[in-house]
Amino acid sequence: DQLAALDGRMEDVYDVGHELGKGAFSVVKHGRHRETGENVALKIIAAATFEGNKRAQEAIRVEVEAMQRIRGQINNPSLIVMIGVFSDPSKVSIVLEELNGGELFDRIVSRGRYTEGHASHLICTLAGALAQCHEKGIVHRDVKPENIMYTSRDDDTKIKLTDFGLALLYPGASVTVHDDNLVGTPGYVAPEVLSSRLYGPPCDVWACGVLLYILLAGYPPFYPSADETLFEVIKQGKYYFHPDAWDLISAEAKDLVYRMLTVDVEKRATMADVLNHPWLTSACDHEYDHLSDTIHRLKAFNAKRKWRAVAAVVMLGARLGLKKRARSSSEGEREDKNGFSVLELETLKEAFLSSAEGGVLS
């Protein structure tokens, strides 16, 4: 596909430098423009990953088209900017602006001071960017802290939403549609996605609601007890404001969490509702209190999350048509109806249980 295609060989235009990170199907490297000196991130996807695989090709096309729409029609400073795409017989290279500030939670836990005002600013920025995406027919479908990065080390205010690799595109303003694939990340996936495979702007609102809960409490809202699964808990929308963590949080903030984590899609807040919510538009009771316990719990959760990213499957369904499985285990080959192997589900459950560490849930 010639979407946003750049001329020439990537290596002739950019000096390829060190590795910035690895995705499931890509490697991201630092690049420096040979003439202008501009620093970029090069997301390189080997041809072997998508050759002869229509779904993989479609996934790359969607990611590129989403970013092209963002650049051409939205131009919001909190959305990743794609510079263009090179392709040659051995790979596709997506040229992105380089984000140097690291992931959202890594930065927050290293802060000296953290307040509801900070969390509110983050959600406001994210909701503003996503509201514009929704207006232009882009549903992200994988909003989570790993996909929110700071632009630079020394600016605590500028974040960007990245990784449109699972996005859903509509011709115009988005509506909710059915998609047989189960797409998202376990802790952030919306109930209607689990029960009916319905995707639309509301699934991004839900994921932002999960993120907001974690930003305020320092641990995730949904975790299964011994006799239930994570997905059952999410489908029921069963979460609590545990007094130890939540008594310190303003009523306005809790109200917004409640509106975003509403199981009924019709009643759930839209991104526009989020942007107009009093917690974002006016000062609230605890705006300036330093949330030291939240930081403490977020540190534990963040450390577990890093481990989990390696140990557990973070994607549902068969993204790019390649399913990651637990190997050399007969159990690993058995799958439950949600597409996870039993082994993976166990790992996941364990991770979610332990990620609630920090004392308040005991």
Rounded distance between C-alpha atoms, residue 344 and residue 241, angstroms: 28
**Is residue 249 classed exposed, middle or buried when 0-12, 13-18 and 19+ CB atoms within 10 A define those classes?**
buried
Task: Tell me if residue 156 is catalytic.
Answer: no
Q: Under a CB-based contact definition with an 8 Å cutoff, are residues 278 and 102 in contact?
A: no
**Is residue 90 classed exposed, middle or buried when 0-12, 13-18 and 19+ CB atoms within 10 A define those classes?**
exposed
Choice between 320 and 343, CB closer to ligand ATP: 320
**Smallest separation, CB 66 to ligand ATP (Å):** 12
Site string for ligand ATP, 258-287 (x = CB under 6 A): ------------------------------
Q: Which stretch binds ligand ATP (CB under 6 A): 54-62, 160-168, 270-278, 330-338?
A: 160-168
**Which letter, b or e, does each residue of 263-300 get, where b requires 16 or more Cβ atoms within 10 Å of its Cβ?**
bebeebbbbeebbebebbeeebebbeeebebbbebbbb
β-bridge mates for residue 199, sequence order: 177
The number of residues in the chain equals 362
- Residue 91 marked ligand-binding: no
Give residue number: closest CB to ligand ATP.
Answer: 23
**Smallest separation, CB 296 to ligand ATP (Å):** 25
**Smallest separation, CB 93 to ligand ATP (Å):** 12
Give the helix ranges, DSSP H, for the chain. 10-13, 47-50, 54-69, 104-109, 116-135, 191-196, 201-217, 230-236, 243-246, 251-260, 271-275, 278-281, 292-311, 330-333, 342-355
Exactly one of 1, 7, 15, 142 is catalytic; which is it? Answer: 142
Choice between 147 and 250, CB closer to ligand ATP: 147
Q: Is 145 in the site for ligand ATP (CB under 6 A)?
A: no
Site string for ligand ATP, 87-106 (x = CB under 6 A): ---------x-xx-------
What is the Cβ-side half-sphere exposure of residue 56, based on CA atoms within 13 angstroms? 18
Residue count at the site for ligand ATP (CB under 6 A)? 16
**Smallest separation, CB 339 to ligand ATP (Å):** 16
Q: Which of 348, 361, 305 is nearest to 186 (CA)?
A: 348
256: tokens are: 């917004």
Choice between 98 and 135, CB closer to ligand ATP: 98
Site string for ligand ATP, 5-44 (x = CB under 6 A): ---------------xxxxxxx-x------------x-x-
Choice between 173 and 309, CB closer to ligand ATP: 309
161-220 residues in contact with ligand ATP (CB under 6 A) are: 162-163, 165
Site string for ligand ATP, 232-261 (x = CB under 6 A): ------------------------------
3 state SS for 208-272? HHHHHHHHHHCCCCCCCCCCCCHHHHHHHCCCCCCHHHHCCCCHHHHHHHHHHCCCCCCCCCCHH
**Smallest separation, CB 74 to ligand ATP (Å):** 17
Binding-site residues: 43
Please report, as ranges, the residues that interact with ligand ATP according to CB under 6 A. 20-26, 28, 41, 43, 96, 98-99, 162-163, 165
Q: What residues are annotated to the active site?
A: 142
Binding-site residues for ATP: 43
